[in-house]
Amino acid sequence: MASVLKKQLEQLVSSGHYVHLKGVLHGIEKEGLRVDGSGELSQTGHPAGLGSALTNSTITTDYSESLLEFITPVFETPEAALNFLDNLHRFSYQHLGDELIWGGSMPCHINNEADIPIARFGASNVGQLKHIYRVGLEHRYGKMMQTIAGIHYNFSLPDNFWQALQTQQGNTDSLQTFRSASYFRLIRNFRRHSWLLLYLFGASPALCDSFLNGKKHKLETLQEHTLYLPYATSLRMSDLGYSNKAQSSLNICFNHLNTYISSLHRAIHTPYPAYEKTGVKVDGHYKQINTNILQIENEYYSDVRPKRVAHAGEKPLHALQQRGVEYIEVRNTDINPFLPTGIDVQQSKFLDAFLISCLLMGDDEISEIECDMISDNLEKVVTRGRKPGLMLETPDGPVSLQQAGNSILEQVQMTTELLDTLHQSREYQLAITAQQAKLDDVSLTPSAQVLKELKESGLSHTQWLLQKSAEHRQTFMRSTLSSDVQQALTQQVSTSVQLQKEIEASDTVDFDQYLADYLAS
């Protein structure tokens, strides 16, 4: 793979087409629980000052009414995206009263699952659909899992880059077909190497014992009300987080767009016995959208997704099928509790170099055997990624994590050199140097730093993260928004409220009929 990447990069440089990499596009989605001053989950509704969760495109909610989700527009630089994310936090704090935005991926202390309020999106049919989908998630996975928060990093390349790369590779397909196939090439290589991102950036090695609510587990006690694994990197990405038996049977390894679409389509239309027992509408109340393995496409949890912005009323899979992959969504990023927004520019620049490298590596498909290896490696790294002597499986036999990591970083290094030349900077080199240091010294990883501070502070997981969250609030409150940004975000709030009213007034059928039409479309 290294030789393939080297050749592709050299051809981009010799042709001058590497300049199109300046047009790389970024967007960031970041979740954060609202908590009260004692670190308990907020029981208040979505703040009115943040507008409509249904129609505000930058500040909404995810699963829970208490789980804020910030969504940046698309920007050409990571700096611009992160600056906007920073501003969304600052604006939100104007409307949160004494509440805090939780600074970690694993949730605060939660007395009872019943305390977790499911997000509401108003009386419109589309708003009810979004709410009932989340009610379905409660019945399928439990509420507690839905309080986990993370960061999604959206990444795409411009058409002029795709046109140049297609010419370079001598491909004669349509641009849409070539672009989609290339994104799946990126995704396959991402899947092979994404364990490294969990080692480098995983920041959830511990959690509050209330999260497991007395369930059986293999975690150890760190201190009062705090459970952990000594060498864990990201319990958020472990089987404690987003996984279940129904989805484990899907075995989607992302070789081709058409097989990806067909396998998800099949899951959305295949009944699952346990969900059939739950029922759809029981005693006049909806428990889920349907009784199939997946209610909708978004229910499939994976660490990376091919995406396409859908038209109004269009399903995501139909958008992908009709117009191909537009961007990819990286979903395995923990919130770093040491950073006010949970992610910084250096991490973003490394992600860019990593993703471009994955695009330009070899084009091998993932076999069933390799797919199992990928799953095994991810499980090893999330639960014991910092364990000395840890071995990972590869098609060529077992290798140490450090050896495998060095091999990947050597390849990404070639991409960082090109990007620094392009941007006339040293920032990409500094980004990879920082990651190499973590590979050389495990104590520098965020997961190790979290455990070190937890042990030294003597605080519980909730107490420590409450302290961090309060510090981040102070950071945001120390500076004010520019008048232009303040005005734009305030206008967006009022526009979103009006738009929700218009959507609710425009419904012409009752919800039962709306859902039947939606499922039949």
Residue pLDDT tens, the chain, 521 long: 568 999 999 999 999 999 999 999 999 999 999 999 999 999 999 999 999 999 999 999 999 999 999 999 999 999 999 999 999 999 999 999 999 999 999 999 999 999 999 999 999 999 999 999 999 999 999 999 889 999 999 999 999 999 999 999 999 999 999 999 999 999 999 999 999 999 999 999 999 999 998 788 899 999 999 999 999 999 999 988 655 566 766 777 689 999 999 999 999 999 999 999 999 999 999 999 999 999 999 999 889 999 999 998 888 999 999 999 999 999 999 999 999 999 999 999 999 999 999 999 999 999 989 999 999 999 999 999 999 999 999 988 999 999 999 999 999 999 999 999 999 999 999 999 999 999 999 999 999 999 999 999 999 999 999 999 999 999 999 999 999 999 999 999 999 999 999 999 999 999 999 999 999 88
Spell out where 145-228 has E strands.
151-156, 206-208, 220-223, 226-228
Is residue 485 within 8 Å of 87, Cβ to Cβ? yes
Q: What is the pLDDT of residue 248?
A: 66
| pTM > 0.95: yes or no | yes
Q: Which residues contact 220 (CB under 8 A, 6 or more apart)?
A: 227, 228, 229, 230
Q: How many whole angstroms separate alpha carbon 467 and alpha carbon 458? A: 13
Q: For the chain, which residues make up each domain, given as ranges?
A: 2-520
| Token pair listed for 71 | 């969504």
Chain CA centroid to CA 58, Å? 16
Q: Is 215 helix (H, G, I), strand (E, B) or coil?
A: coil
- Tokens encoding 319: 């958008």
State the architecture of 2-520 in CATH terms. Answer: 2-Layer Sandwich (3.30)
Tell me, what's the pLDDT at 8?
Answer: 95
Contact 58, 89 (CB under 8 A): no
- In this predicted structure, what is the pLDDT of residue 73? 97
pLDDT reported for residue 253? 65
CA distance 126 to 137: 17
Packed helices 316-323 and 257-268: angle between N→C axes, nearest 10 degrees:
160
Q: Write down the number of H helices and E strands in the chain.
A: 17, 14
In the numeric block, which tokens belong to residue 322?
């009709």
User: How many Å is the maximal CA-CA distance in the chain?
Assistant: 68
Quote the CA–CA distance of 510 and 112 in Å, as a whole number.
34
